[in-house]
């Protein structure tokens, strides 16, 4: 299994609070991604990174920011969480085109 | 933009039945196509892929053929098992600037009963 660790795995928070999800990899893969999974929507890309300090927006980036200061870590931050951001968040990594390896997911509930 | 359309589930089958999950896509250029599988409580994992027209991807008894003329990549298996119960996602790659992101379909849940 690819060495991808997401933390926390579960979090409950209140509307308006900041939240940071962490993705840590031990594979030294160049590309890292954050997706959210919601019923009826499948997986949607939030942000991705193609190198240290190199990031770009996906299709649902509003309300989210990311940072990648080291190859192995990719942080997803919700500056002020809203109920619409209740979801399961998946980190993924890749080295070659298209073959993504996924973490086990982080379930976030915003009350 | 690019998009992937999958048949809605759940698909309910008895063990040893034949499986087809339809997937069609809209894309510019020549994307690669993928099937990912998600078992309960887990992240997605790559099941199979095809990188050009007429390629057939296969793994664990599953197959899918890249049909450019019909823009389809249907997943098939000749005899499903209870352990195949999962959610299956069709996806295509968005090539650009030397790296790629994936566009996923909404997923199709498969339930196999003994």
Contacts of A97 in chain B (CB under 8 A): 32, 93, 95, 99-100
CA distance B65 to chain A (A): 17
Mutate to test the interface with B, among A30, A46, A90, A100 (most CBs of B within 10 A): A100
The predicted structure's pLDDT at residue B96: 57
- Using the Cβ of A98 and the Cβ atoms of chain B, whether some distance falls under 8 Å is answered with yes
Burial zone of B76 (CB within 10 Å; 0-12 exposed, 13-18 middle, 19+ buried): middle
- Using the Cβ of A75 and the Cβ atoms of chain B, whether some distance falls under 8 Å is answered with no
Candidates B32, B42, B99; nearest CB to A50: B99
User: Which residue pairs, CB below 8 angstroms and at least 24 apart, start in A40-48?
Assistant: A40/B106, A41/B106, A42/B89, A42/B104, A42/B105, A42/B106, A42/B107, A43/A90, A43/B44, A43/B89, A43/B104, A43/B107, A44/B104, A45/B101, A45/B102, A45/B103, A46/A76, A46/A89, A47/A76, A48/B101
Give Rg (Cα) of chain A.
13
Residue-by-residue pLDDT tens, chain B, 114 positions: 889 999 888 999 999 999 999 999 999 878 899 999 999 988 999 999 998 899 999 999 999 999 999 999 999 999 999 999 999 999 998 765 556 788 899 999 999 999
Average pLDDT per run of 10 along chain A, which is 111 residues long?
Answer: 89 97 95 93 92 92 96 96 97 84 95 96
Contacts of B46 in chain A (CB under 8 A): 99-101
């Amino acid at each position: 299994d690819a060495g991808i660790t997401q933390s926390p795995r579960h979090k409950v928070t209140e509307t308006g609070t900041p939240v940071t999800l962490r993705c840590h990899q031990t594979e030294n893969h160049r590309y890292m991604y954050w997706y959210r999974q919601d019923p009826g929507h499948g997986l949607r890309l939030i942000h991705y990174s193609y190198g240290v300090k190199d990031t770009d927006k996906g299709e649902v980036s509003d309300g989210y920011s990311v940072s990648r200061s080291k190859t192995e870590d990719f942080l997803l931050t919700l500056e002020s969480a809203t109920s619409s951001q209740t979801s399961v968040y998946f980190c993924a990594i890749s080295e070659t085109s298209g073959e993504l390896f996924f973490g086990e997911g982080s379930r976030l509930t915003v009350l | 933009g690019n998009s992937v359309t999958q048949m809605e589930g759940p698909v309910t089958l008895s063990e040893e039945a034949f499986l087809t999950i339809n997937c069609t896509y809209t894309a510019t250029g020549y994307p690669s196509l993928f099937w990912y599988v998600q078992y309960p409580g887990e992240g997605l994992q790559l099941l199979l892929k095809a990188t050009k027209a007429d390629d057939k991807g296969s793994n664990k008894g599953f197959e899918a053929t890249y049909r450019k003329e019909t823009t389809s990549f249907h997943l098939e298996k000749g005899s499903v098992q209870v352990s195949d119960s999962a959610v299956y996602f069709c996806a295509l790659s968005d090539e650009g600037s030397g790296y790629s992101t994936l566009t996923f379909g909404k997923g199709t849940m498969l339930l196999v009963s003994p």
